[in-house]
């Protein structure tokens, strides 16, 4: 929300009192793809205050959780190893071609950017080691059949092996305009909650109306449906 404060005619400068809602999470929420929507939602809720490895990386729904769990178990040893470019011009590590640096393509030849990612990786490992963590993940299931859905359930169960007793995994199935592939969607909504420490929900972003980010005012409700415990705290106030 912006409230007009004053206007300087000769300079044409306008100043506003900007008030932004701020939330606090019970656990440290780590976004782990499949793309940057998870990190963006944390930005909008003013929860995210540090950059982490998967904030702006694109993963595949069928392999994303496996890639993340392997990276963590390997302490990100191969996360930036033997970088290459694919046919789309996106950078990827040779061991993980399905994880693309779509917003940081230059990491392949920019030592400074590489160093930035190395720091993010170490930061993530420190957080995972010392704090209660909620991993936030997105999948798109439009092309899933029962074989893919069953494989995803297995991959999700395997992911929980890296969780501490107080950690959790929160997954939302994202759709553009309406829930699609309902039979598979219902299958996952029924099967995934049987896995301890894992929560799942659906999210329709109404892309035509709201764009790729969806309706940002609905993010608190999305988090509630994911059993991510957040609460409103004192807002951010600034003059701009």
Give the domains, in start order, of the chain with CATH numbers: 27-231 (3.40.50)
Which is more confidently placed, 8 or 34? 34
- Could you tell me the pLDDT band of residue 160, with boundaries at 50, 70 and 90? very high
- From the CA atom positions of the chain, what is the Rg in Å? 19
8 Å CB contact between 167 and 197 = yes
Containing 85, the helix (H) or strand (E) segment is strand 83-85
Please, what sign has the CA dihedral across residues 79, 85, 88, 89?
A: positive
The stretch 107-114 carries a mean pLDDT of 93
Measured N-to-C along each axis, helices 64-73 and 111-130 cross at an angle, to the nearest 10 degrees, of 80
Please, what is the end-to-end C-alpha distance for the chain in angstroms? Answer: 12
pLDDT recorded at residue 77: 97
- Indicate whether 106 pLDDT > 90: no
pLDDT recorded at residue 235: 87
The stretch 82-88 carries a mean pLDDT of 93
Query: Considering the chain, what percentage of its residues have pLDDT values greater than 90?
Result: 84
Containing 137, the helix (H) or strand (E) segment is strand 133-139
- Indicate whether 6 pLDDT > 60: no
The stretch 83-88 carries a mean pLDDT of 92
8 Å CB contact between 69 and 159 = yes
Q: Which long-range contacts (CB under 8 A, 24 or more apart) does 106-110 make?
A: 107/80, 107/83, 108/83, 108/84
Flag the least confident range among 190-194, 200-204, 209-213, 235-239: 235-239
The stretch 65-94 carries a mean pLDDT of 96
């Amino acid at each position: 929300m912006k409230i007009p404060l004053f206007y300087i005619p000769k300079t044409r400068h306008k100043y506003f009192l900007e008030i932004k809602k701020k939330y606090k999470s019970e656990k440290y929420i780590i976004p782990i793809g499949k793309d940057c929507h998870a990190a963006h939602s944390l930005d909008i809720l003013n929860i995210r205050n540090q950059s982490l490895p998967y904030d702006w990386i694109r993963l595949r729904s069928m392999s994303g959780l496996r890639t993340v769990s392997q990276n963590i178990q390997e302490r990100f040893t191969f996360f930036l190893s033997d970088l290459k470019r694919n046919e789309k011009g996106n950078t990827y590590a040779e061991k993980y071609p399905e994880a693309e640096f779509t917003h940081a393509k230059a990491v392949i030849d920019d030592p400074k950017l590489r160093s930035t990612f190395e720091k993010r990786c170490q930061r993530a490992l420190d957080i995972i080691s010392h704090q209660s963590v909620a991993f936030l993940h997105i999948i798109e299931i439009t092309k899933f059949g029962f074989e893919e859905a069953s494989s995803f359930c297995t991959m999700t169960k395997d992911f929980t092996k890296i969780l501490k007793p107080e950690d959790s995994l929160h997954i939302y199935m994202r759709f553009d305009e309406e829930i699609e592939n309902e039979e598979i969607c219902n299958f996952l909504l029924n099967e995934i909650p049987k896995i301890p420490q894992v929560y799942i929900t659906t999210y329709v972003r109404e892309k035509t109306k709201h764009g790729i980010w969806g309706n940002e005012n609905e993010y608190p409700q999305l988090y509630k449906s994911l059993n991510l415990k957040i609460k409103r705290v004192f807002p951010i106030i600034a003059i701009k």
